[in-house]
Structure 1
Amino acid sequence: MQSLDRTKSKIKKLSASSVIKDDDSLVSFLTEVPEPLKEAMTTFIETHPNWDQYRLIQAALSGFLVQNGIESRSINRLYFQNMFSKNAFQKTL
């Protein structure tokens, strides 16, 4: 139950973040994630309060595309906003 409440809270924060703007289009998708990857994501998100599953996936996908030769301003912008925003790697004590 606490996990569900935390997820709902993260979604509200995401919709208010500067990464997502009104004129951006969003696409939702479902995919299976191997258990070790899910556990690593959960651990990272729990220790980095400024991150959530959506920001992590956006950073990972955009970073992969940038590193593999995709030349797109919007992809670059997403990558840099997710990776280098203020306090991106602040940990909880």
Structure 2
Amino acid sequence: MAVHVSVENQFPEDLYEAMVAFIENHPEWDQYRLMQSAVAGFLFQQGSKDPAVVRHYLNGLFRRPGPQGLQSRGCEIG
């Protein structure tokens, strides 16, 4: 099972409002999935070759609703 950590951050209000609007228009996403995808995407685009970063990046892209709720193809984010 993957270990999770809690992170607190302050966002500019307009960025926060854009995040809220995105989540409202994409009910399959939540704040946790959005932030995990954003961090993994940034690290991947900056050249990270860490297999965990690549896995989280790809899971964020291809995760979709299934019969039991949100699921991903292949590896599941713990």
Q: TM-score range by the shorter chain?
A: 0.7 to 0.9
TM-align CA RMSD = 1.0
Percent sequence identity is 45
CA drift of 1:86 comes to 2.9
Which 4+ stretches in 1 moved above 6 angstroms? none
Alpha-carbon distance between aligned partners in 2 of 1:30 and 1:86, rounded to the nearest angstrom: 26
Pair 1:77 & 2:64 matched:
no
Give the TM-score normalised by the residue count of structure 1: 0.66
More helix by share: 1
Gaps of 5+ in 2: 66-78
Which residue in the other structure is 1:63 paired with? Answer: 41
More strand by share: 2
- The one-letter amino acid of 1:60's match is A
Give the TM-score normalised by the residue count of structure 2: 0.79
Asked which structure has the greater RCO (Cα within 8 Å, sep 6+), the reply is 1
Which residue in the other structure is 2:14 paired with? Answer: 36
